[in-house]
Structures are given as C-alpha cells and as structure tokens.
Amino acid sequence: MRRRYDKLELMLRIVALTLLATALRAQDSPKPVEKAPAKVDQALRARANQFYQDFVKGEFSDAETLVAPESKNYFVAIKKEKYLSCEIKNADYSDKFRLAGVGAVCERNIMFEGFAGHPMKYPISSQWKLEHGKWYWYVDPSAQRVTPFGMMGLIAGMTGAATPAGPPVVLPSPADLTSPALALHKVSVDKPSLALKPGESAEVAFSNSALGTMSISLYGVTPQGFEVTPTHADLERNGKVTVTVKALEGANPAVLNFQVMPTAEVIAIKVEIQ
C-alpha cells in the first residue's frame, strides 16, 4: 500500500511541476527586473501571506479585502477551498516595482479513493499590483489561461477533489497522469454561437467530463442588452448545466466568455442579433 502511494505521489508531483511550467510559459506575466528594495519586498510578502493565510483559515471574505477592485467579481465567482498551509517562496517584480508575481507552496488533502486525508504540497502563483501604497491580488484579463491560484485548483480537479457521492473514482494510469489533457478541455458547450431577435431567449448546455467537480462563471459583467441565467454554476462529475441567454431591446452582437474553473480556460459563445 505504501509503495502504491509513493508512486502516486511521485506522479502527482511530476504532473504539478510539468503543468506549472506549461502554464507559466502561456501566461503573459511581467518580466522580472532587478531586486526590489527591502521595504517593498516586505510589504508585498506581508500582504500575500495574509491573503493565503485567510485561505488556510477559510476566511474568504477577509481575503477579498486584499483583491483589486477590478478583480473582485472574478474572485467572488470562482470556487474557493481551504488550504492546510501556505508558504511564500519568491516574488518577481516589474513596472518599476508596481507589479509582481508571487510564488508559494500550499498544502491540501488529496481525494483519491484510498488516499483521502493525506496532505500534499503544490506550487501556486498569483499576480499583485501596487495601488495607493498597498499591494492587491489581481487577475490580468489578457492572461486567463492560467488559474490565479496556480496549480492547486487544477490538480484538485484532476484528482477528483470534492467529487460527489457515486461510483468510485478510477485511478488514472501513469501515462494519463503525466498528460495535461487529464484536466484541460473537460468542460464543453453544445453550441458555439446563438442567433437571437430582441426579446428572444436560447439555451446553451455545458457538460463536465472531468474526474471531479468543475465550475463555469460568466467572466466580467453581463454585456449590456442581455440577461444571462445563471451567471455561475457548478458542474458535478459527468454533470450538465443549462444557461439561458436572453436578448433585450437594443442589444448588439456580443461574445459571452465563460471561465472554467479550476483550469481557468475560457469558452466563448458568440451571440448574433437578427
């Protein structure tokens, strides 16, 4: 049994590091510059540590006070979970020390059948910006391919974390565990576009084929002239959810972007007005 766990732990760590490297290459994050002044670095680390410790304590509303105003809707919409511990590892600065990327390692329990309750550590990355003398967590709208909580949420989805009651999770093969495809592209939509007249409604259905629970959220505010219901929904393993889109009078063509969490992929639905 111990040998089986050791092998699983090794594979999961390889997956975490591989996906983290891939994610960071895909993200348009600021390029690091020279070493920051001690006071700047201390201030950032203190705020980032406070943010992550709020997740350790499960005090997500306190963490929200450290989020930049333009990212609050995003923060509220995403699924959040408690960590067992978090430790800041590094901070890279850019834009004359007004932007920073923070790397941390956080611990949580994995949820594989037979291994539930055993803690593992995963790398996490986040972006911060300096506003009015204080550091705030934020999400760059142009870099939405990476979850702002780094790989922890991604690995949670891969390993079946928070999986609802039902058939036991089948342990993936070693080959599957080393493939990023295990977590990505598991949420799909039944139609990529809609054609509506003012006053008309139509439905789109999202499906989840991941091992664990995923979620979708309408990114940003609802475009003017539309009603979208619901704007956020959880999709259980093998589950589906239907979203209704209604065009109001005066609506113009738009694109509805739905964020998939914890992978942070974006599914775009084009809406034409007839």
Are both 251 and 193 inside the same structural domain? yes
Determine if the peptide bond prior to 262 is cis (ω within 30°): yes
pLDDT computed for residue 150 by the predictor: 43
Segment holding 205, helix H or strand E: strand 201-208
DSSP state of 163: P
Say what the pLDDT of residue 29 is: 42
Which run of H or E residues covers position 101? strand 99-109
At residue 177, the pLDDT reads 42
Query: Is there a single domain that holds both residue 122 and residue 145?
Result: yes
CB 158 within 8 A of CB 71: no
pLDDT given for residue 232 in this prediction: 87
Which residue, 177, 205, 224, sits at the end of a domain? 177
Domain stop point among 177, 210, 239: 177
Using DSSP bridges, classify how beta strands 193-196 and 265-273 pair: parallel, antiparallel or unpaired: parallel
Query: Which range marks the domain in which residue 251 is found?
Result: 185-273
Q: Which of 143, 177, 211 is the last residue of a domain?
A: 177
Which pLDDT value is given to residue 180? 43
Q: What DSSP letter does each residue of 22-35 carry, written as one string?
A: HHHHHS-PPPP-SP
Over residues 193-222, the pLDDT tens digits come to 999 999 999 999 999 988 777 888 887 778
**203 and 159 share a domain?**
no
Task: Say which CATH number the domain at 246 has.
Answer: 2.60.40.10
- Regarding pTM above 0.75, the answer is no
Confirm if 271 and 193 have CB atoms less than 8 A apart: yes
**Same domain, residue pair 191 and 153:** no
58 with 127, same domain? Answer: yes
Q: Give yes or no: residues 141 and 223 share one domain.
A: no
pLDDT, residue 185, reads 79
Q: Verify that 247 and 217 share a domain, yes or no.
A: yes
State how many domains the chain has: 2
Q: Which residues of the chain have pLDDT under 70?
A: 1-34, 109-118, 122, 141-184, 264
- pLDDT given at position 123: 72
Q: Which pLDDT belongs to residue 79?
A: 72
